[in-house]
Chains A and B, each alone.
Chain A
Amino acid sequence: MKKTFAMGGVHPKDSKLARKSAIEDLPLPATVAISMAQHLGAPATPVVAVGDKVKVGQVIAEPSGFVSARVHSSVSGTVKAIEPRTDLAGNLIPHVVIDVEGDEWLPEIDRTPDFKGDLTLSAEQILARIKDAGIVGLGGAAFPTHIKLSPPPGKTAEVLILNGTECEPYITSDDRIMREHPDEIAMGAKIMMKALGVGRCFIGIEENKPEAIAAMRIATIRFGGLVVVPLKKKYPQGGEKQLIDAIIGRRVPSMGLPIDTGAVVQNVGTSLAVYEAVQKNKPLIDNIVTVTGKCLPAQKNFRVRVGVPYSYLLEAVGGAPAKASKFISGGPMMGKAIRNLEATTQKATSSLLVLTEAETKRRAEGPCIRCGKCADACPMGLQPFLLNKLMRLNRTDEMEQEKIFDCIECGCCLYTCPANIPLLDYIRVGKADVMKIMRSRKK
């Protein structure tokens, strides 16, 4: 029996259409627009001016708070504008817009494909490099990595867990990097283990990626302390809490942090970025993006510079057909629907998924038949039908008693509901309300 998390979960069809497509470099666009809010926390402050010439890898914005991250230029050229632009959801966010001229990199960046396996830096030096390289978690939340690798006082890390589950249907970017860069990922893990001062690392990969499991197993042979753990295919296995439960059988307490279990979870993509930053001096200026969808002429995995418009990504696979009606940044279960296709990719963009109306249409809502399937599917042991009802009645106190704040917004309840009740839509609103009240109480 392969391991998996104990409670709830669903089994959507994995639809990994692009799994056979090797990573290609996306040709450079004429202009990139780099967001200043690519990470969880305070937006970065631009340190370049309009008209400045920049090179690939040059710092263009510095962090503006403790939880914040540096931003680097992903292209070489001239800064055309520093202005608010709409992101994929339609919010105005400051962007640095750069006209691309050639592809000139900073000289200190090592662009050779050679593998560098020797590590002489101390833990502090590693953390500084990671911070300087502007690395954020590439699993989706984009939390600054150097903070996650520095446990708060009183907590100690015991084990590092690499997340290679890629439990979202369609996305294949992590699968491809594990197959194409297993040594670099393993080395990245080794670097993070040194930064954390831990001796063990588990790499969790779902069993629908046998090539990735094999490649990572071979790569880990040369490093001590790394173990590949094949996992059963079940969504949301890539959720931090679910992955810790699946691999080391410990549960993050309600309202607690993963570090409370002694585990630090990092995505395999982050591990690759850490390797490149520490060993090759390369800041986080590109990442792997899967462009996929059954209705597209082709499904591919691209190495994409940060700040490329989504429309440009679509053109690279031959454009979206007329019947394409929903564009999603990320996977179909937790990704965000794109309102504005001229918005640009960010550091943590993993996928551009295109769905037709038939594939994504929500069916008409019926009456709750009290089947309890939502509660069975909830990986946090909540009762979505009840939270939905309480939200509609606006009973904030009871929602708090029912632990609405534990919801990880994975969408299993809405996915599984036979009556098509938009459970998560209501729970999200209720959760935001409850969290607001709880925060104001703390003050």
Chain B
Amino acid sequence: MSSEKPIVSPSPHLHGPESTRRVMGDVLIALLPVTLVAFLCYGWSVLILLLSGVATCVLCEYLINRFLLHRPCTIGDLSAIVTGVLLVLNLPPAAPWWIAVVGAVVAIGIAKMTFGGLGQNLFNPALVGRVFLLVSFPVLMTKWTLPHGFLQDYLPMLSSQVDAFTGATPLGVVKEGLISGGVASELAGSYTWQQLLFIRPGGSIGEISSVALLLGGIYLLCRRVIKVTIPVTIMATVAILATIFWSVDPARFTGPFFNVFTGGLLLGGIFMATDYVTSPMTTSGQILYGVGIGVIALCIRYFGSYPEGVSFSILIMNCVVPILNKYCKPRRFGKEAK
């Protein structure tokens, strides 16, 4: 028998394997495939951006905890690293390193820590950082490099027809083409399905490959980090709405496949909209939230002045989350007794 007094505490006496650090670690693992493909396509600039973005996020959180909030260090939960990686994946590959630093300071310093740190923020920190950069440095943030690295040399069938080093994203091409009198179906038709699925021509670092993003999503589902509700309702909403618009007027509106597999819909839908802190907690709330994101994103694409609207749509729906949490209740076990 132990000489010390036995521990006495209420049940349960066991704890499951879940931890915040494990959740964040799983998100990082799920982001590996797309990061790797981006590195192979865009080269060292991706690594430099990642390094500066992640280091700034971690340092920022550490310094704010230490000197402003006087709270224990929280960087061990890995959430700052996740924010850093997601921010960088939302930058154009040609962005200079200091862009990532500025974005990281805004993401952690303003969007996360001013609300009180992990779990308290209303908006997705990485997206706040990204949108801040987009409106502050519009030129730098819309200079798209085309994939050119190692992969391109070995898989020529995926390379874009044009030999240019920079170009617009598929969504940008469509938007500009439509303004100058083009036909949507032809503009979208210049991209093959292989390109849209495997290596996309132009876009943010993390938008490089639909397949790599889906792989990450499947990993998160298998590890039960996320549930299918949010990604599937977003994709389904976009696909259904796009089908309706496209069948009404294919000359003005792009189709469902093009809309799901271009831009930030997969990256945003799988990795940003599912952020625990800024998404609803019940299934019914998550469905409303996912539908909202899908509708707003597609409206911005079709009718807005920006070619892409996933970041904005997620941030807008972030505002609604507290209300969704208040009114969307889970199904209770039993009915009221008479």
| A residues in contact (CB < 8 Å) with B | 7, 10, 12, 89, 169, 241, 245, 251-256, 260, 311, 314, 319-320, 322-328, 330, 332-339, 341, 353, 355, 357, 359-360, 362-363, 366-373, 375, 378-383, 385, 403, 406, 409, 411, 414-420, 424-425, 428
Question: Is the CB of B70 closer than 8 A to any CB of chain A?
Answer: no
Take A255-B337, A325-B4, A383-B281 as given contacts and tell me if A362 and B77 are in contact as well, using a CB distance cutoff of 8 Å: no
The residue from B1, B4, B14, B118 contacting A369, defined by CB atoms under 8 A apart: B118
Please state if A406 and B20 are interface contacts (CB–CB under 8 Å): no
Can you sample 28 A-B contacts with CB below 8 Å?
A251-B333, A251-B334, A253-B335, A253-B337, A254-B333, A256-B334, A322-B3, A324-B2, A326-B7, A333-B13, A335-B11, A353-B13, A357-B7, A362-B9, A363-B15, A366-B20, A367-B117, A367-B119, A368-B119, A369-B79, A370-B277, A403-B332, A406-B333, A406-B334, A411-B12, A414-B15, A415-B14, A418-B22
Indicate whether B179 reaches chain A with its CB closer than 8 angstroms. Answer: no
Chain B contact surface mostly = loop
B residues with CB within 8 A of A: 1-4, 6-16, 18-20, 22-23, 77, 79, 117-120, 276-277, 281-282, 329-338
Chain B residues positioned under 8 Å from A330 (CB to CB): 11
Of A89, A253, A311, A369, the contact of B20 (CB 8 Å cutoff): A369
Expressed in whole angstroms, the Cα–Cα distance for A425 and B9 within the complex equals 9
Q: Are A381 and B15 closer than 8 Å at their CB atoms?
A: no
Contact call A418/B18, Cβ cutoff below 8 A:
yes
**Complex CA–CA separation, A114 to B183 (angstroms):** 90
Residue of B nearest to A413 (CB): B12
What is the CA–CA distance of A375 and B331 in the complex, to the nearest angstrom? 10
Q: Which of B119, B282, B333 has the most CB of A within 10 A?
A: B333
**Distance in angstroms between the alpha carbons of A50 and B329 in the assembled complex:** 59
- Provide the bound-state CA to CA distance between A327 and B8, in Å: 8
Smallest Cβ-Cβ distance to A261: which chain B residue: B334
Tell me whether A256 and B337 are in contact (CB under 8 A). Answer: yes
- B13 & A335 in contact (Cβ 8 Å cutoff): yes
- Given A355-B13, A372-B281, A372-B282, CB of A416 within 8 Å of CB of B6: no
* Interchain CB contact under 8 A, A320 and B12: no
Determine the chain B residues whose CB is within 8 A of the CB of A253 once the complex forms.
334-338
Measured CA separation A320–B13 after assembly (Å): 18
Instruction: Point out the residues of chain B lying under 8 angstroms from A328, CB to CB.
Output: 11, 13
Nearest-Cβ distance from residue B228 to partner chain A, whole angstroms: 13
**Could you say which of A254, A373, A375 contacts B18, with CB atoms under 8 Å apart?**
A373
Return A124 CB to nearest CB of chain B, in Å. Answer: 29
A residues in contact with B334, CB < 8 Å: 241, 251-254, 256, 406
A337 touches B18 (CB 8 A): no
Closest Cβ neighbor of B1 among chain A residues: A320
Output the least CB separation between A152 and chain B (Å): 13
Q: How far is the CB of B86 from chain A (nearest CB, A)?
A: 15
Tell me whether B8 and A339 are in contact (CB under 8 A): yes
The 10 closest A-B pairs by CB, nearest first: A411-B12, A372-B281, A256-B337, A367-B119, A253-B337, A418-B18, A381-B332, A371-B276, A251-B334, A380-B333
Is the beta-carbon distance between A254 and B337 smaller than 8 angstroms? yes
Other than the known A333-B12, A366-B77, what 7 A-B pairs have Cβ atoms closer than 8 Å?
A7-B333, A252-B333, A322-B2, A337-B13, A369-B20, A411-B11, A419-B20
Closest to A15 in B: B14
| A424 neighbours in B (Cβ, 8 Å) | 10-12
Q: Flag if A319 contacts B6 (CB, 8 Å).
A: no
Given A251-B334, A368-B119, A380-B332, the answer on whether A359 and B277 have CB atoms closer than 8 Å is no
Tell me the complex Cα distance, A418–B25, Å: 13
CA of A90 to CA of B3, assembled, Å: 18
Residues from chain A with a CB closer than 8 A to the CB of B77 are: 366
> Given A324-B1, A420-B15 in contact, is the A369-B10 Cβ separation under 8 Å?
no
Q: Min CB distance, A82 to chain B, in Å?
A: 27
A332 touches B333 (CB 8 A): no
A334 to B12, CA, bound (A): 6
Interface contact A406-B332, CB-CB below 8 Å: yes
Q: Check B11–A333 contact: CB distance below 8 A.
A: yes
Most chain A Cβ neighbours within 10 Å, of B16, B19, B120, B277: B16
A404 to B29, CA, bound (A): 38
- Contact partner of B337 (CB less than 8 A), chosen from A260, A357, A371, A382, is A260
Q: How far is the CA of A418 from the CA of B294 in the complex (A)?
A: 29
